[in-house]
């Protein structure tokens, strides 16, 4: 039995086998296999038939599971991260950082006017006023704009005693409490007759170091409003604004408006005075108490109260050495008595002081009676306010909207259509006798496109820039191909030009922007998509059919940089980032060449800064013996 040939452990214990017989059997099988293999070789092999390989596969090359690409697909990026290779505080996949440097509204706020009505006014250049507010630091420019914002935006109000500072959109401006950039604001304001005008207002910094922002803003405006604090008087920035007016843009701005801020004092006049309250180009205001009036607007309050007063003639008797005689009920140039006061003090200052003293002095007993006589009605909650908010509320109800400012600007500042010829004469390098010059002088919205940009505003994250300018001819539209001409462009050398496509268009209102499809001539516009080829200023025109177009003159500043510094990255590999940041800084500041104090906004990484040094300059006083010449690669 076969079981007897093996023990209990399965080992063979039978007789020895004959190895020769086994070898013969194996040889016979091998010969049969060889013969069969020869027969198969004679037949044609199937190319598609795969023969299983007998190669040796190493352990590390063995594949037990499918790869991530086979599981998730080639379009999915997978990351394999081993443990303990980085701290727990650092995520494997870092979240996207949203860098933000400006205060912007997420949605359009409510206004007392309809946005479509604002857009319709853009088609009427005779109803548009482009104005720049300038003056010394803390003379009330930004707070005055806040009053206009509160007047036109019912949901935007200042909190407690803190200023709104709506035009200070940079975080650095809010932290320092001082404006750094010029901020445009577009709104609809009514005059004393109730007629609406579209006001493009530029709030400029008051610090003397930012006079370049004032220069770039004035280039786009038809007039300026100069703020002077009656308590401090004319300061250095006021003189800077005056020098900017006379040195840079006097021919293009025939009228200057003065506005006295904070407090009220008498203002003497001369025989050959150009600025006077009698001329209607001086406005009295206090943004802290929401007060703004001219002699005409204050006289109109008397006319509305008593009804039988010609407020135009009455306003002419409210300034100067003019006295009112209560016995004869007439105005005279001589004082009737030794205690008589000038008409401005008697009819303007004393009533104003009485209102202020009533609010500050007796709120519970006599104030309601006085307010009823003035036609001012306050609720019980409003009467419980603190003195300063209550005083601001009472003055706002008494004086109403800032119609005096609107009347003053409408009377003395030309519209874009009326001031177009003067503006083009002193800013355009080409001639006015050409077809293009005539269309710009007429502010024709149907003519060829000519847009002048003087400012570059960065986005919220500081990555891109939008060009801000004024349309002088034609109509710029979103998605329109345009030709951007740089400051070095000439008809002989067209190298400094580039054709690009306009992105979106906005009307800027400080902390929010109104997107529009087109902007006609005479208006300010914020343009997307043209920032790559613009450094400081530019001229935007049509790419075809306007080959004779020339550029607008670059800005001429009344200051010059005398200090320079050298900057280099600590890590040499970050040099491209630093250069890109310097280019952005150069775009952001009109008169700046190099700036380091913007590391957190534009310059990323650590930098080394050299000590400031004074710029070394030389001049030529004699004619050289040899003629100096230069030749460029393009032979031009």
Q: Which residue intervals of 55-126 are DSSP H helices?
A: 68-72, 115-121
Give the other-Cβ count within 10 Å of 614's Cβ: 8
Give the single-character DSSP code of 170: B
In the predicted model, what is the mean pLDDT of residues 487-512?
93
The pLDDT of residue 145 is 95
Assigned token pair, 628: 């100096």
Phi/psi at 41 (5° precision) = -65, -30
Query: Pick the residue with more confidence: 609 or 395?
Result: 395
The pLDDT of residue 155 is 93
Q: Residue 433, exposed/middle/buried by CB under 10 A (0-12, 13-18, 19+)?
A: exposed
Whether the pLDDT of residue 259 is over 80: the answer is: no
The pLDDT of residue 20 is 53
**Rounded CA separation 350/332 (Å):** 19
229-233, 337-341, 352-356, 434-438: least confidently modelled range: 229-233
In the predicted model, what is the mean pLDDT of residues 460-468?
91
In the predicted model, what is the mean pLDDT of residues 469-487?
95
Q: What percent of the chain has pLDDT over 90?
A: 40
In the predicted model, what is the mean pLDDT of residues 168-175?
91
Whether the pLDDT of residue 147 is over 70: the answer is: yes
What are the distances in angstroms from CA 29 to CA 7, 18, 22, 24?
31, 17, 11, 9
Whether the pLDDT of residue 125 is over 70: the answer is: yes
In the predicted model, what is the mean pLDDT of residues 462-471?
93
Dump pLDDT digits (tens) for 328-339. Answer: 989 999 998 888
The pLDDT of residue 479 is 95
pLDDT band at 161 (very low <50, low <70, confident <90, very high): confident
Query: Pick the residue with more confidence: 137 or 455?
Result: 455
Give the other-Cβ count within 10 Å of 146's Cβ: 24
Dump pLDDT digits (tens) for 5-26. Answer: 777 777 777 777 665 555 555 4
159-163, 265-269, 575-579, 598-602: least confidently modelled range: 265-269
Average pLDDT over all residues of the chain? 83
Query: Pick the residue with more confidence: 263 or 464?
Result: 464
Whether the pLDDT of residue 50 is over 60: the answer is: no
The pLDDT of residue 11 is 75
Phi/psi at 604 (5° precision) = -105, 140
41-50, 142-151, 437-446, 581-590: least confidently modelled range: 41-50
In the predicted model, what is the mean pLDDT of residues 575-601?
74
Q: What percent of the chain has pLDDT over 70?
A: 82
Whether the pLDDT of residue 634 is over 60: the answer is: yes
In the predicted model, what is the mean pLDDT of residues 576-588?
86
Helix (H) or strand (E) holding 481: strand 481-485
The pLDDT of residue 262 is 47
All structural domains of the chain, each given as residue ranges with its CATH number in brackets, are 2-34 (no CATH), 439-541 (2.40.30.10), 560-636 (3.30.70)
The pLDDT of residue 402 is 93
Q: Are 309 and 316 in contact (CB under 8 A)?
A: no
Dump pLDDT digits (tens) for 372-416. Answer: 888 888 888 888 888 888 999 999 999 999 999 999 999 999 999
Dump pLDDT digits (tens) for 51-78. Answer: 556 677 787 778 888 888 888 888 888 8
pLDDT band at 597 (very low <50, low <70, confident <90, very high): very low
Phi/psi at 6 (5° precision) = -130, 145
Dump pLDDT digits (tens) for 173-189. Answer: 998 888 999 999 999 99
The pLDDT of residue 254 is 44
The pLDDT of residue 368 is 85
Looking at the DSSP bridge assignments, the partners of residue 498 are: 484
Return the CA Rg of the chain. 40
Q: What's the residue count for the chain?
A: 636
Dump pLDDT digits (tens) for 518-566. Answer: 999 999 999 999 988 898 999 999 998 888 899 999 998 877 777 777 8
387-399 vs 350-361: helix crossing angle, rounded to 10: 140
Query: Pick the residue with more confidence: 375 or 603?
Result: 375
């Amino acid at each position: 039995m076969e079981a007897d040939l093996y023990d209990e452990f399965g080992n063979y214990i039978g007789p020895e086998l004959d190895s020769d017989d086994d070898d013969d059997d194996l040889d016979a099988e091998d010969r049969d296999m060889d013969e069969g293999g020869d027969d198969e070789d004679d037949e044609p092999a199937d190319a598609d038939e795969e023969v299983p390989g007998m190669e040796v596969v190493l352990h590390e090359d063995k594949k037990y599971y499918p790869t991530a690409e086979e599981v998730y697909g080639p379009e999915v990026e997978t990351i394999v991260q081993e443990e303990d290779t980085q701290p727990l505080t650092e995520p494997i996949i870092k979240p996207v950082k949203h860098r933000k440097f400006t205060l912007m509204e997420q949605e359009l706020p409510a206004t007392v006017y309809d946005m479509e009505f604002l857009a319709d006014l853009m088609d009427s250049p005779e109803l548009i006023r482009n104005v720049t507010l300038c003056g010394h630091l803390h003379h009330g420019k930004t707070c005055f704009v806040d009053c206009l914002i509160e007047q036109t935006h019912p949901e935007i109000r200042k909190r407690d005693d803190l200023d709104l500072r709506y035009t200070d959109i940079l975080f650095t401006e809010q932290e320092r409490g001082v404006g750094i950039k010029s901020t445009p604001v577009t709104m609809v304001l009514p005059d004393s007759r109730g007629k609406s005008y579209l006001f493009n207002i530029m709030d400029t910094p008051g610090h003397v170091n930012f006079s370049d922002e004032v220069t770039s803003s004035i280039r786009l405006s038809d007039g300026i409003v100069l703020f002077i604090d009656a308590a401090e008087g004319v300061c250095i920035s006021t003189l800077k604004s005056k020098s900017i007016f006379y040195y840079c843009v006097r021919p293009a701005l025939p009228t200057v408006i003065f506005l006295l801020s904070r407090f009220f004092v008498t203002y003497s006049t001369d025989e050959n005075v150009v600025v006077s309250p009698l001329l209607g180009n001086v406005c009295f205001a206090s943004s802290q108490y929401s007060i703004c009036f001219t002699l005409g607007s204050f006289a109109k309050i008397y006319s509305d109260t008593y009804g039988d007063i010609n407020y135009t003639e009455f306003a002419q008797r409210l300034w100067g050495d003019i006295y009112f005689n209560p016995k004869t009920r007439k105005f005279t140039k001589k004082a009737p008595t030794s205690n008589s006061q000038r008409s401005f003090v008697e009819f303007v200052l004393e009533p104003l002081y009485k209102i202020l003293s009533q609010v500050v002095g007796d709120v519970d007993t006599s104030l309601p009676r006085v307010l009823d006589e003035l036609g001012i009605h306050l609720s019980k909650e409003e009467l419980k306010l603190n003195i300063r908010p209550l005083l601001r509320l009472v003055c706002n109800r008494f004086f109403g909207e800032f119609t005096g400012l609107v009347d003053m600007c409408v009377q003395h500042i030309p519209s874009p259509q009326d001031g177009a010829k003067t503006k083009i004469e002193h800013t355009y390098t080409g001639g006015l006798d050409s077809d293009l010059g005539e269309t710009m002088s007429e502010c024709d919205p149907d003519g060829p496109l000519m847009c002048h940009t003087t400012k570059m505003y960065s986005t919220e994250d500081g990555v891109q820039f939008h060009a801000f300018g004024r349309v002088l001819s034609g109509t710029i539209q979103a998605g329109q191909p345009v030709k951007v001409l740089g400051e070095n462009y000439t008809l002989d050398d067209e190298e400094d030009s580039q054709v690009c496509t306009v992105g979106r268009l906005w009307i800027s209102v400080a902390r929010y922007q109104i997107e529009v499809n087109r902007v006609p001539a005479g208006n300010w516009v914020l343009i997307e998509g043209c920032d790559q080829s613009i450094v400081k200023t530019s001229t935007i025109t049509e790419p075809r059919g306007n080959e004779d177009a020339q550029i607008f003159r670059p800005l001429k500043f009344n200051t010059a940089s005398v200090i320079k510094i050298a900057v280099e990255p600590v890590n040499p590999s970050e040099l491209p980032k630093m250069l890109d940041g310097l280019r952005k800084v150069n775009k952001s500041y009109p008169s700046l060449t190099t700036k380091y104090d913007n590391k957190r906004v534009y310059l990323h990484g650590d930098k080394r800064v050299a000590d400031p040094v004074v710029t070394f300059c030389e001049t030529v006083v004699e004619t050289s013996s040899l003629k100096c010449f230069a030749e460029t690669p393009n032979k031009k």
